[in-house]
């Protein structure tokens, strides 16, 4: 019974909510963890019979495993989506997650690079290597457009409007948005497209994709992560960096420069402006640090 419920739930998410494969895998993992716990902890094993007490016991189990509050909250979020689905399908009479509180989370601010640090990373790209210009274009696009790495790997030639200075992005939930691209970023992008990519024969699944590897296949997120980590190390950057760090830096630097919050929300593709507001908090933190470090009264 549990197996068929999980399959139907994932199918619903795929067809009705158009979630990415990675998100679907995370939801499936969360529900399977609960199903395994109910089986081995003496609760009978049936997800349909799980109540608030069983779920609280499961959350306590996650804590005992040493999971952080963030990991616990993420898993519970997946379970809430699952039980909401069961309730809407009339498979359960009450949604037990309504009576289960999420772990208390402190506000975790994302890592942001200074413009100087970003420039050092870009300057550390070895352009003598065959993939050098491609790697430089990737970093320029991540920072210059604020893209998610999954959005970057999905950029196609037909969605670049070079003369207009825009690219069409397919974001979360298959939502489209137009993102402006600066002249400098476009220049680096086309140095790669016209000087290197044109000589690679793309595979059937990557005919229109911009960022491909030497075998003509679409670049994986893992390859981009490793490239960025290596390049950052060469630049002497010691902060924990991922492709998403450039997206955080893009938003923070725009707001520090006086950009409108809703404009930044639109460029990032955030469904809610409250998600974008974290960058105003980062801006306030920057201002506070500036006062503490440079105001004369704080130097005594």
pTM of the predicted model as reported, rounded to 2 decimal places: 0.62
In the chain, which residues fall in CATH 1.10.443.10? 115-293
CATH number of 2-99: 1.10.150.130
Mean residue pLDDT across the chain: 87
Residues of the chain with CATH 1.10.150.130: 2-99
115-293 under CATH 2.170.120.30, yes or no: no
Write down the H helix ranges in the chain: 2-16, 21-40, 52-64, 69-88, 115-123, 132-145, 149-153, 183-195, 221-234, 243-256, 261-268, 273-276, 278-294
How far, in Å, are 135, 166, 227 from residue 157 at the CA level? 17, 12, 22
pLDDT value of residue 40: 84
Active site residue 238: no
Residue-wise pLDDT for 232-282, tens only, equals 999 999 988 999 999 999 988 888 888 888 888 888 888 777 777 777 765
d(CA 278, CA 96): 31
- Which is catalytic among the residues 14, 172, 177, 229? 172
**Catalytic residue selected from 61, 168, 244, 286:** 244
Selecting among 80, 247, 248, 253, the annotated active-site residue is: 247
Q: Is there a catalytic annotation at residue 187?
A: no
**63 a catalytic residue:** no
The predicted pLDDT at position 108 comes to 62
User: Exactly one of 148, 197, 209, 253 is catalytic; which is it?
Assistant: 148
Q: Residue 44 — left, alpha, or beta (φ > 0 → left; ψ -120 to 50 → alpha)? A: left
Annotation marks residue 190 as catalytic: no
pLDDT tens-digit series, residues 1-11: 788 899 999 99
């Amino acid at each position: 019974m549990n197996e068929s419920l999980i399959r139907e739930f994932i199918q619903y998410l795929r067809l009705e909510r158009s979630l990415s494969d990675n998100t679907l895998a995370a939801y499936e993992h969360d529900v399977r963890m609960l199903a395994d716990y109910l089986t081995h902890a003496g609760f009978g094993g049936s997800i349909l019979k799980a109540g608030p007490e069983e779920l609280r016991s499961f959350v306590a189990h996650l804590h005992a495993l040493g999971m952080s509050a963030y990991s616990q909250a993420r898993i519970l979020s997946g379970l809430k989506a699952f039980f909401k689905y069961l309730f809407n399908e009339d498979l359960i009479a009450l949604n037990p997650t309504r009576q289960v509180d999420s772990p208390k989370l402190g506000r975790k601010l994302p890592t942001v690079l200074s413009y100087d640090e970003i420039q050092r990373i870009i300057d550390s790209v070895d352009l003598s290597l065959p993939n050098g210009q491609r790697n430089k274009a990737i970093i320029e696009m991540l920072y210059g457009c604020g893209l998610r790495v999954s959005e970057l790997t999905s950029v196609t030639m037909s969605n670049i409007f070079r003369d207009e200075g825009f690219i069409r992005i397919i974001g979360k939930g298959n939502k489209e948005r137009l993102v402006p691209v600066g002249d400098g970023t476009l220049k680096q992008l086309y140095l790669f497209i016209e000087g290197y990519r044109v000589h690679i024969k793309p595979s059937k699944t990557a005919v229109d994709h911009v960022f491909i590897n030497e075998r003509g296949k679409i670049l994986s997120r893992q390859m981009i992560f490793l490239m960025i980590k290596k390049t950052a190390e060469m630049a002497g950057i010691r902060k924990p960096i991922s492709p998403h760090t450039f997206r955080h830096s893009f938003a923070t630097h725009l707001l520090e420069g006086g950009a409108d919050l809703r404009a930044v929300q639109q460029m990032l593709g955030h469904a809610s402006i409250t998600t974008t507001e974290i960058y105003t908090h980062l801006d306030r933190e920057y201002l506070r640090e500036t006062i503490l470090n440079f105001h004369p009264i704080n130097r005594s």
